[in-house]
Amino acid sequence: MEQAVVAPARASWIPWALLVVGVLGASISAILIVYARDAQPMAISFWRCAGGAAALAPFAARGLRAMTKRQLGLPAVAGLFLAAHFATWITSLELTTVAASVLLVTSSPAFVALLAWWLLGERLRSVAWVGIVLTVIGAGLVAGGDLSGAQFEGNMLALAGALTVGVYMLVGQVSRRELGILEYSVVTYSVAGLVLLPISLVMGADLWGYDAQTSWALVGLLIGPQLLGHTVLNYVLKDLGATIVAVAVMAEPLIAAILAYILFGQVPPLLIYPGGAAILVGIYIVSTRGKSPQVVIE
């Protein structure tokens, strides 16, 4: 009797190795943005979205052709909020420390949980509310460390980035019931890029002619956070599960803060330590005890 040929199983360590690569790729996002100092925040936002769309489009071409006009609606809305997210968060890095900006934007899972409860009627467990309260308290400590000047403005922009990416994730949660990750990403990145392009031009942002450091930093943003970060982490979700990936992504603000201290000498204010701890504990509770873990990757 002819025996069935069994495909070799993937080595158990490969998803974990990819997880490490993905987290490291996502963690350098803020650092590369700081290095891209010759480009304005709107220009960086535009190139990150446009570059991501261009890089993924060839792999999503077949799925994109099969999409209906109705299916384009929600990804287009998500793209608007993604544009707002990058515009606010990337601008925040010019005004506040990397540690504060990344910690505050990392609080987005709490916004996702709140929005899902408010808009979609999803039920939240009592312990998830504890996580949300901890995240809000921590964000208040981090954001309120300096109540005046540019740093406070930057902290508020980072929180706006957390809220807008929360809406982006929530819309994506509904949209991806019918769409694959590649098709969804290409449409959202494209819409975000189309929104950011005229805004960049109106604001007088230069879209080319950068110095070598900025050019390489922009290339690094596409290869690192966008492809090795977003794409790899989304890829290992099916092997490791959303909870493990969501918890692993919590290392991003810690890695970014350490790199910012080593590379730029940025020393965070004292309130960032208890505030950051509260945010991370709150995110852990929301991500592991909520109804459905959310993975938000910068």
pLDDT confidence band for 1 (50 / 70 / 90): very low
Angle at 89 between CA 146 and CA 100, to 5 degrees: 35
Please state the domain extents for the chain: 14-106+148-268
Prediction pTM value = 0.88
| Residues 79, 252 contacting (CB under 8 angstroms) | no
**What dihedral angle (degrees, nearest 10) is formed by the CA atoms of 270, 274, 279, 280?**
110
**What dihedral angle (degrees, nearest 10) is formed by the CA atoms of 284, 289, 292, 297?**
0
pLDDT confidence band for 2 (50 / 70 / 90): very low
Q: Higher confidence at residue 49 or residue 244?
A: 49
Mean pLDDT of 278-294: 79
Look up residue 141 and give its amino acid. L
Question: In this structure, what token pair is assigned to residue 287?
Answer: 């991500």
| Residues 116, 155 contacting (CB under 8 angstroms) | no
Mean pLDDT of 73-94: 95
* Ranges 35-39, 95-99, 226-230: which has the least confidence: 226-230
Q: What is the pLDDT of residue 82?
A: 94
CA distance 109 to 243: 12
Q: What is the pLDDT of residue 291?
A: 57
Q: What percentage of residues in the chain have a pLDDT greater than 90? A: 59
Mean pLDDT of 184-198: 95
Helix axes 149-175, 181-202, angle to 10 degrees: 140
Residue 10: its H or E element: none
What tens digit of pLDDT does each residue of 95-143 get?
999 999 999 999 988 888 888 888 878 888 888 899 999 999 999 999 8
| Residues 109, 173 contacting (CB under 8 angstroms) | no
Query: Is a pLDDT exceeding 90 seen at residue 172?
Result: no
Give the mean pLDDT of the chain. 88
Query: Is a pLDDT exceeding 90 seen at residue 146?
Result: no
Residues 6+ away with beta carbon under 8 Å from 151: 95, 96, 97, 100, 145
